[in-house]
Structures are given as structure tokens and as C-alpha cells.
Chains A and B, each alone.
Chain A
Amino acid sequence: MANEGQAKTGVYRNALLAGLWKENPTFRVLIGMCPPLAVTTAVKPALTMGLSVIFVLVCSNIVVSMMRNLLKPHLRIIMFTLTIAAFVTICDLFLRAYTPAMSEILGAYVPLIIVNCIIIFRAEACASKSSVVVSMLDAIGMGGGFTIALCILAGIREVLASGRLAGIEVMPSGYVPCLAMQMPVGAFVTLGLLLGLANVLTRKKGA
């Protein structure tokens, strides 16, 4: 009994922790790359985006996991997308009602969560095969890893572009803002360098 309990805790912990680094969607698996590039001009929108993705991912993973035995193979992708679309609508209306300014900044990128590969990927790879609890933990881990990645990227870009972090001055007063970081160029290059860094770190760990 005790052994079984331990094995179960292990499975849960793995499900929760995999997304944070080992299978981090942005740095390791390279899926769902649009939002990391598009909404990371500042930390606040990035955080909002991350939380929205966590919400949608958790809800859709739970629902998909609950209906996993009813799914017909050839209809499953459309069922996944419809579930996701429903939750994204909820999320979009919520943001519009409570944080209209943020909703304005994020614009079309909130509805675009529907086609974010992370969510479909987790529905396919995890939720359609695992129990509700495992899928939920997996969603929290993956969403968390995604949010952390967004915030790191946004932090770097915001500090370099405006000398502020989440609206607070952090750079010395003589700092000359680097406007290119706010443009698409900054997004692509920063993410490219971060991926390189992630590669270096993994290799060190492996050796």
C-alpha cells in the first residue's frame, strides 16, 4: 500500500515538474512560439498572458481528460479545439470586463491562445491518456514553465528597452534606452540567445 502511494506521489511530482524545465514548452520543446515573441514588450502583459494560458490549459486538460474515453480518433482534434475555444472565450470576456486596459494591449493575442500549440499538444500528449489529477498537475507545470519563460524574456526586454521593470525604474539615471528591444528585432534576437543559453545549461547538466 505504502509503495503504491509513493509511486503515485512520484507520478504526480513528475507531471508537475516536467513542464518547469525538462520539457519547458518555450525553451526545450519549442512550441507555442508566437506569444513569447509578441506580448513580451513588458512584464505585466506577459504575466497576464501566462496566467490566461494556465487557466485555459488547466480547464481544457481537465475536460479532455474527463472525456478521453468517449473520443473517436478522427474527431479528437476538432473536439480539443472546440473545448479550448470555449475556455478562451470565457477568458477573453473576463479580461475585457475586469482589466480593459490589459485586454486592449493583448488584443488579438488572447483569442490566438486557441491555436497555441502548447494546449493542443498537452491535450494530445497527456490529457487524452492520463487521469484527471495527473492532467491537471501537468497543465499547471506546463503553464507555469511557459509563464516563467515569458516573464524572463519580458523582463530582459523591458529593462533594456525602457530601464524599467514592471513599471519601476531599475537602471541608473544615465541609462540610454535601447529602442530596438521593443521592436520585433529585439524579440527574435533575445529569444534566440536565450535558447542558446538554455542549450549550454542543458549540456553542462548532462555532462
Chain B
Amino acid sequence: MDRANVLLMGFLSMVLVNNFVFTKFLGTCPYIGVSGRLDSAFGMGLAVTFVTALSGTLTWVVHFYILTPMGLEITRYICYIVIIAGAVQLVEMYVRRFFPSLYDVFGIFLPLISTNCVILGICLFIDIWGTDNILEVVVLSTGVGIGFTLAICIMAGIRESLQLADVPECLKGAPITLITAGLLAMAFMGFAGMIKA
């Protein structure tokens, strides 16, 4: 029961309290660039969730069972990058082969993902937190992906309505998106008291 509780809390914390976009600023580029329409934002979010869960777990396994025992921590950034690029490639091939309709939705986002900061971010933060249990790693990295999806979908919804709003000329486009993101970050700060770290 305790274990389940810890996992649930960890998951909620990654989705709401420590949302990577609003508290750690990771994944801000696609956040500003892509989140113009709700359906493409959702596709992007799903693809990211998939890859974070996969590569977060894989990098942890490699780090814990291969790099640390062999004293090769110095090469870990290079290893992480290779794993992430490999995972993205694998997902792309798999989806194209077995789910062609899904592939059309993910489309161009898949190759873009390998340079998404959220993914390298979760691999690094899992290291920093010193998680030593594979179940936790899976839950945390899935949570991060879902948190990203949530953030990007909220933003896309707001931006769809913003198109009708009367925004000052010089703030159109990226500036107003950033200011909106600031307000959203403030709203998400309200979750901060929910879970004690």
C-alpha cells in the first residue's frame, strides 16, 4: 500500500506540481512553436509521452547496470543522446509499420523529438534524484510526458481563442504566448502545497 501511495504521489507531482514546462522550463521550444492547434498539440504530446517513458527507463537501466558498475559515468551524456536518438528511431519505425494512421498524426514531430529538452531532462533529473527502483522510474517518466501533454494542450486551447482577441501589435505571436505561459505557471503554482516533497 505504501509503495502504491509513493508511486501515485510521484506521478501526480510530475504531472501537476513539478510540471516540467512550468517549473523547469524544459520543452519550451515546441511549446511556443507547435502549440497553435489543439489536435497537433495532442499528437505531439502523445509522441513525447511515449518517448520519455521509453528512453527514461532505458537510460536509467544503462546508467544503473552498465555505466556505474564499470566506472564509465563520464560518457553518460553521449550514451544518453545515443539512446534517445535510437529510441526515437525505433518508435518511428514501429509506428510506421504497425500503426500507419497514428504515424500520419505523429508525422513530422517524431524526428523533432530527439532534440526535445523534456526527454534529456527527465533522464538527467532521474539521475539527480537518485531514484533506485525501476517502477518509480517508469512512473516518473510517464508522468513527465503526461504533464507535458497537459501543458501543451492547455496552451493550444488558449491560443485558439487568442486568435480572436485584440492583442497589441508588437505582442502578437511569441510574446503573448510567453506572457500567457507566465500566467499559467502562476496558476500551476497553486498546486505547490498539495504534496510535501
Which residue numbers of A lie inside 8 Å of B, CB to CB? 30-34, 37-38, 77-78, 81-82, 85-86, 88-89, 92-93, 107-108, 111-112, 114-117, 120, 180, 183-189, 191-193, 195-197, 199-200, 203
Contacts and interface: CB of A to CB of B under 8 A. Distances in A.
Given A33-B29, A89-B78, A196-B168, 11 more contacts: A81-B114, A93-B74, A108-B128, A120-B115, A184-B23, A185-B185, A188-B179, A188-B182, A192-B182, A195-B174, A195-B178
A112 B117 contact: yes
B170 A111 contact: no
Given A92-B77, A117-B115, A192 B23 contact: no
B171 A196 contact: yes
Contacts of B75: 89
A23 to B, nearest CB: 15
State the main secondary structure of chain B at its contact with A: helix
Interface in B53-94: 74-75, 77-78, 80-82, 85
A61 to B, nearest CB: 17
Nearest to B182: A188
B175 A193 contact: yes
A153 to B, nearest CB: 11
Interface string B166-195: 001011001111110111011001000000
Given A38-B24, A88-B77, A111-B124, A81 B115 contact: yes
Contacts of A186: 182
A122 to B, nearest CB: 13
Contacts of B125: 108
A200 B85 contact: no
Contact of A184 (B78, B128, B168, B182): B182
A34 B170 contact: no
Q: Which of B168, B176, B186, B189 lies at the interface centre, i.e. has the most chain A CB atoms within 10 A of its CB?
A: B186
B181 A30 contact: no
Given A33-B29, A115-B120, A82 B81 contact: yes
A192 B179 contact: yes
